[in-house]
Amino acid sequence: MSTPFEKPQIISHIQKSLNYTIFDSKWIPCSAKFVCLGNLARGTGVMQIYEVARGELRLVKEIENAKPLKCGTFGATSLQQRHIATGDFGGNLNIWDLEAGEAPLYSVKAHKEIINSLDGVGGLGVGDGAPEIATGSRDGTVKVWDPRQKDAPVANMEPGEGEAKRDCWTVAFGHAFNAQDRCVCAGYDNGDIKLFDLRNMSVRWETNIKNGVCCVEFDRKDINMNKLVATSLEGTFHVFDMRTQHPTKGFTSVSEKGQKSTIWQVRHLPQNRDVFMTTGGAGNLHLWKYDYPAQRSKEDSEGVSMGVAGTVNLLQNVTLSTQPIASLDWSPDKKGLCVCSAFDQSVRVLIVTKLNRV
């Protein structure tokens, strides 16, 4: 390699082994702390808060939950409160005040089965709209919750009578660029991707990528939707240009075969929406950059505008572990800092350098 240090480098900063299976890790906004969510050997859930201090991790707090915790988000809380919302194996949506006691502030039996994924919007100054949490569950439904309303979801996206219930693996908010517009994108185990428009309460777009959709994420939640990345079970990911929706062809996409194994997660750099990291089933991380085409839309043979997809370039790839990396979270405050958790029961704090130069 001729110029190894020109490219961004992924550096392992801290690694810590845990005594439980960790599913998700999230930075607490405006702090050097993060939350780990997982499953203790005795079948209960656990939430731990760690602080990064002088190259080490210091356990700040531990909370135990009746059910294993699968996923969490800070997306719907204010910068002042910083309450985490979690989804567990029993289908419960809980909101916790990390500084207060051990009982959740808000708790609702959101789904009949495990909550696979959740996402929040409207908090942390992200977007202007109401704080909302979307949950996707194995029971086939996607629900949207407002932390100010107990017991009932504010929107419910469920299969109709007689339709097969597909396992919803991932949900993501996007298009929240003003107080009214908002979209939820959901990915299912059969490869379906559905985009729900919460303003019109309708399915705005759907497609199928042929393989189970492990993760979807908009490049940025609080802008006029721009790009959507969807990762799949067999290692391909698709980047959709969400600016131009053709009436029949939908959104244009570019796909890239990242790795041979499942891509568990995709996370865009909070400071630059065109850079994103994918985490693989073989314990590897790929850092990508999306380059826009010269013209983002063109006219098809009938004169209808359709999007033009750009290209995806690999910036860096590393192998961390032999086990799948189930989650990754970029620090919203410190560019290049991220925390990732793998199924080898360890959590790692990584530093990605030279992100300014990409």
Partner 1 sequence: MSVSEVASLLNQDNSSATIGHHGKVPVEHLDYGYIEKCTHTKYLEKILRELRSGEEGMYPHLIQFCEDHLRTLDPTSRALRKEQPIATAGSLPTEEWTEISQDLQQWQEEAKDYEMSRRPSAMFHNAGNENIPPIRSSGASVPLGQNAASKAKKDPPKRALPRDYSQWDTFDVDRECERIDGNVSKKDTPAVINSGHVNIKPGVDVTTLTEKDKLLLADREKDKGNEAFRASDYEEAVVYYSRSLSIVPAVAVYNNRAQTQIKLKHWHRALQDCQRVLEQEPLNLKALLRRATVFQHQDRLSLAAEDLRAVLHVEPHNATASDVEGDDDVATEDEEKAEEHARPVDRRQLAGGEESVVTPVERGDMGNAQKKPHGGHHGDGASADTNHGSTGHFRRGRGGSWDKHKAAGETPGKAANGTGKRGSTASEHGGGGGGSKGGGGSAGVDLDAPCGALPPPLARLKNEGNLLFKNGQFSDALGKYSQAITGCTDSGLDSPEDLCILYSNRAACYLKDGNSQECIQDCTRALELHPFSLKPLLRRAIAYDSMERYRNAYADYKTVLQVDDSVQAAHNSVNRITRLLIEQDGPQWREKLPDIPLVPLSAQQHRREEPPTAEALQARADRTASDTARRAEVRFNALKLEGNDMVKKGRFQDALGKYTECLQLKPGECTVYTNRALCYLKMERFAEAKQDCDAALRLEPTNKKAFYRRALANKGLKDYLASSADLQEVLQQDPGVQEAEKELEEVTALLRQSLDAGAGASPPTAKPRKKVPITEVRSATDSTPRPPSQEVDNTASINLQPADAYEFGQSLNAARSQGNAAACAQLLSSVDPEQLPQLLGNQLDGQALGFVVEALDDHLLARDPGRVYRLLRHLRTADRFTVAVMLLETAERRRVTQLFAHLSAVQSADFTKDDVLNLANKYII
Interaction residues for partner 1, span 9-28 (CB under 8 A): 9-13
Strand partners, 174: 183
Interface map 140-159 toward partner 1 (x if CB under 8 A): ----x-x-xx--xxxxxxxx
Of 242, 263, 287, 309, the one binding partner 1 by CB under 8 A: 242
Please list, in sequence order, all residues whose beta carbon lies within 8 angstroms of the beta carbon of residue 215, skipping any fewer than 6 positions away.
117, 169, 170, 187, 229, 230, 231, 263, 264, 265, 266
Q: Is residue 105 close enough to count as binding partner 1 by CB under 8 A?
A: no
For partner 1, the closer of residues 18 and 155 by Cβ is 155
Q: Is residue 76 close enough to count as binding partner 1 by CB under 8 A?
A: no
| Range 191-220, binding partner 1 (CB under 8 A) | 194, 196, 198, 201-203, 205-206, 220
Of 110, 213, 215, 225, the one binding partner 1 by CB under 8 A: 225
Residue with tokens 């480098």: 9
| Range 24-53, binding partner 1 (CB under 8 A) | 30-32, 52-53
CB of 149 to partner 1, least distance (A): 5
For partner 1, the closer of residues 16 and 246 by Cβ is 246
CA–CA gap between residue 347 and residue 342 (Å, rounded)? 7
Q: What are φ and ψ of residue 357, in 5° steps?
A: -95, -10
CA angle 147, 153, 157 (to 5 degrees): 135
CA–CA gap between residue 214 and residue 15 (Å, rounded)? 25
CA–CA gap between residue 173 and residue 187 (Å, rounded)? 12
Strand partners, 86: 72, 94
* Reduced 3-state DSSP string for 19-84: CEEEEEEEECCCCCEEEEEEEECCCCEEEEEEEEECCEEEEEEEEEECCCEEEEECCCCCCCCCCE
Measured distance between the N- and C-terminal CA atoms of the chain, rounded to whole angstroms: 18
For partner 1, the closer of residues 91 and 310 by Cβ is 310
Residue range at the interface with partner 1 (CB under 8 A); choices 36-44, 67-75, 106-114, 291-299:
291-299
Of 6, 103, 109, 313, the one binding partner 1 by CB under 8 A: 313
Q: Is residue 110 close enough to count as binding partner 1 by CB under 8 A?
A: no
CA angle 31, 37, 39 (to 5 degrees): 160
Residue range at the interface with partner 1 (CB under 8 A); choices 39-47, 64-72, 106-114, 349-357:
349-357
Q: Is residue 287 close enough to count as binding partner 1 by CB under 8 A?
A: no
CB of 30 to partner 1, least distance (A): 6
Q: Is residue 272 close enough to count as binding partner 1 by CB under 8 A?
A: yes
Of 244, 255, 261, 346, the one binding partner 1 by CB under 8 A: 244
CA–CA gap between residue 284 and residue 16 (Å, rounded)? 17
Of 43, 62, 103, 178, the one binding partner 1 by CB under 8 A: 178
Closest-CA residue to 22 (of 5, 4, 6, 41): 41
Of 43, 112, 179, 210, the one binding partner 1 by CB under 8 A: 179
| Range 314-333, binding partner 1 (CB under 8 A) | 314, 317-320, 333
CB of 68 to partner 1, least distance (A): 27
- Could you tell me whether strands 33-40 and 20-27 are parallel, antiparallel, or unpaired per DSSP bridges? antiparallel
